Structure 1
Amino acid sequence: MKITTVNNQDIVYFLNIMQNHMKLCGYSSCTIKAYIGKTQSFIRFNRPINLQNITEQDIKNYLNHLVENGLSRSTIDQATKAMEIFYYELFGKQLNLSGFKRPKKARTLPIFLSPNEVDQIISHTATFRNRLMIELAYSAGLRVSELVKIKVEHLKLDRLMLHVPELEKNKRTTFFSKYLKDSLGRQIGAKNTGQYLFPSERGGTLTTRAVAKFFKKSLIASGLKKLATPHSLRQSFINLRFNQGTDLDALKNTLGQKTTFSTFSDSKKAA
């Protein structure tokens, strides 16, 4: 695409083309909004701008500006991806960022919730279904992406067993608290084996964003000041089991992961 003027209408026209292309490529609306926002930021940084004359060095200067202003690695990565799409849409070729050094990723420590804090969040959760989702995620150490994909057929209530839905061909089995057996039976109700345990209103897969939304609402209502997320339930499950002396190999098999437990080891030492 050739745009040679600095007319704002031309810039808006180009951004619309970029946006439509991302839609066709299957980007989510949130991702598109973020990438367009980063592109607009780049344009403001370079005003007055002639899109036809933009160089790779202009883009490097912009990204270095973000780094120098202390923005996070994730923000820099997002801006970089936006610039790659922007440059390709503009010139039809790949962006070369050789020489540009991204900041190192900061090590973020997980946020742990004690059993009492989890109970506090559950007690401030409005619906039976949502309370059960929190309880099951914590009791079985589930990822949110696994939680929303559980079907009735994955549960063995009499054995307190859950066959975790396959993610990336990673089969595993975990167990849940016996105190959830009756609640899970109630949630199953008259559902068929192939139906989702926690379906959306239309009967399909509940989104992870929907889980994050109700969890945040419950967290705020509970009065806890921790910046916890649904994933904190899994991390708290790991931390609790680790500090109780659970065999690491068994724990890794239950969790379906190959990561090290250095973070949880540090937490145990601190305790």
Structure 2
Amino acid sequence: MIGLQFHPDKVIQALIKELPNPKWSAAFSMVYIINTKENLDIVFNKFRGIAWVNGNSFFKEKVIRDNEPVDINWYRNRSKTTSYRYVPETYLVKLELKRYALNTCKTYISQFEKFINHYPDKDIITLSEQEIRGYLQHLIRQNKSNSYINQAINSIKFYYEVVMGMPNRFYSIERPRKEQKLPQVLSKEEIRSIIANTNNIKHRCIVSLLYSSGLRRSELLDLKLTDIDSKRMLVHIRNAKNNKDRYSLLSEKVVKDLRIYYRQWKPKAYLFESPNGMKYSGKSVGAIVVRAATKASIKRKVTPHILRHSFATHLLESGTDLRYIQTLLGHSSTRTTEIYTQVAINKFKAIKNPLDE
């Protein structure tokens, strides 16, 4: 059954009478209706705009991810001003308990603070769906990308639905249509030129590994010395996106460079470390790629992720089965990997252009 508890209110009582066959339970001191998906939808639709629905007692928590603890104390320890509204402590606690990835935490906190500072004089809990829509329209007028707007929606949903326990609060909040952009890909010659234009052996290994193993930037930074298996010629990627471990390819050329790098730089735990022995920063990796691409006279903007796209596309062009590419990239579905079929040029080359006939 779906049990309904509420503070005495004539409007709510009148709406409850309109629910399908409501009954009173003396044992639990609450009204109840049969638990079906249709009835659950009716409850949320009936009280939308009238009352918040707290489903903590009804909905089961999602399984907590098995990630390492995330340190977001920096957000607690920031120097604060009275003119700015900061994310509530309950928000930070829930992010920690859910063990969201650090990048996700940063995005959610930043986006939610922008939202609550858009309404500086209103209590967060009193904001309605209409006001949330007003904020999203404000972002659209600022020409924010669809991805940015979806991040804003996710951060707001997290507060009301996860922190405050009010599921399905956003049934009718419209999301932007998903953009279908093709991945940018470099040629093999451009990749070789970028690698050749790195400043030192450490930078060379970073760029080479991003491409030759199809790594995400965060995956590269999380690599430990023990994750390089030169006997089986594999890279072990641990606890990557969606908490999945996987193996990817290890290039023989990269192994030779890594041995030289190890003798010169002597990393202790992580494969790539900062001068103080901590994990290398993502910003530094991005700067290394951009600098090498500029020196290689590549006019397009080059990011670490473009190297990953190029890895997948070049494998597909060389005849590698799509399912193997899916495994190497760590995609949950081949549908994600199939996008590379639209940029692989080997099939296009086989087509005779009608103008050339």
The alignment's TM-score, normalised by the length of structure 1, stands at: 0.74
**Aligned equivalents of 1:252 and 1:30: distance in 2?**
27
**Aligned equivalents of 1:214 and 1:31: distance in 2?**
27
Match in the other structure for 2:339: 263
**Aligned equivalents of 2:237 and 2:154: distance in 1?**
33
Moved more, 99-108 or 247-256: 247-256
Match in the other structure for 1:195: 269
The change in CA–CA distance for 1:61 and 1:123 in structure 2 (over 3 A counts) is same
Residue 113, structure 1, aligned to residue 190, structure 2: no
Match in the other structure for 1:174: 248
Conservation of the 8 A alpha-carbon contact between 1:172 and 1:256? yes
Residue 15, structure 1, aligned to residue 84, structure 2: yes
Match in the other structure for 1:249: 323
One-letter identity of the residue aligned with 1:51: K
Match in the other structure for 2:288: 214
Conservation of the 8 A alpha-carbon contact between 1:35 and 1:82? yes
One-letter identity of the residue aligned with 2:238: P
CA positional deviation for 1:37: 3.7
Structure 2 unaligned segments of length 5 or more: list them. Answer: 1-80, 97-101, 350-357
**Aligned equivalents of 1:249 and 1:59: distance in 2?**
41
2:195 to 122, 129, 138: 122
Match in the other structure for 1:6: none
CA deviations 1:65-120 (Å, max 9, x no partner) are 434665322221233355557889xxx78594443312112012111011111122
CA deviations 1:156-199 (Å, max 9, x no partner) are 33443333334356343333222223211122338999722212
Conservation of the 8 A alpha-carbon contact between 1:187 and 1:197? no
**Aligned equivalents of 2:247 and 2:301: distance in 1?**
29
One-letter identity of the residue aligned with 1:233: L
CA deviations 1:118-175 (Å, max 9, x no partner) are 1222233223211111112211222222222222222233443333334356343333
**Aligned equivalents of 1:248 and 1:156: distance in 2?**
24
**Aligned equivalents of 2:221 and 2:276: distance in 1?**
14
Which structure has greater helix proportion?
1
Conservation of the 8 A alpha-carbon contact between 2:286 and 2:303? yes
1:163 to 229, 236, 242: 236
1:143 to 216, 223, 227: 216
Conservation of the 8 A alpha-carbon contact between 1:152 and 1:188? no
Conservation of the 8 A alpha-carbon contact between 2:247 and 2:328? yes
**Aligned equivalents of 1:223 and 1:152: distance in 2?**
33
Question: Which protein, 1 or 2, shows the higher relative CO under an 8 Å CA cutoff with sep ≥ 6?
Answer: 1
Match in the other structure for 1:36: 113
Conservation of the 8 A alpha-carbon contact between 1:137 and 1:234? yes
**Aligned equivalents of 1:166 and 1:250: distance in 2?**
19
Match in the other structure for 2:122: 51
**Aligned equivalents of 1:105 and 1:136: distance in 2?**
31
Match in the other structure for 1:8: none
The alignment's TM-score, normalised by the length of structure 2, stands at: 0.58
Match in the other structure for 2:298: 224
Larger radius of gyration: 2
Conservation of the 8 A alpha-carbon contact between 2:108 and 2:155? no
Residue 79, structure 1, aligned to residue 156, structure 2: no
CA positional deviation for 1:241: 0.9
**Aligned equivalents of 2:223 and 2:252: distance in 1?**
18
**Aligned equivalents of 2:215 and 2:156: distance in 1?**
35
RMSD of aligned Cα (Å): 3.5
**Aligned equivalents of 1:77 and 1:116: distance in 2?**
36
CA deviations 1:214-252 (Å, max 9, x no partner) are 223333343322233111111111100101111233333
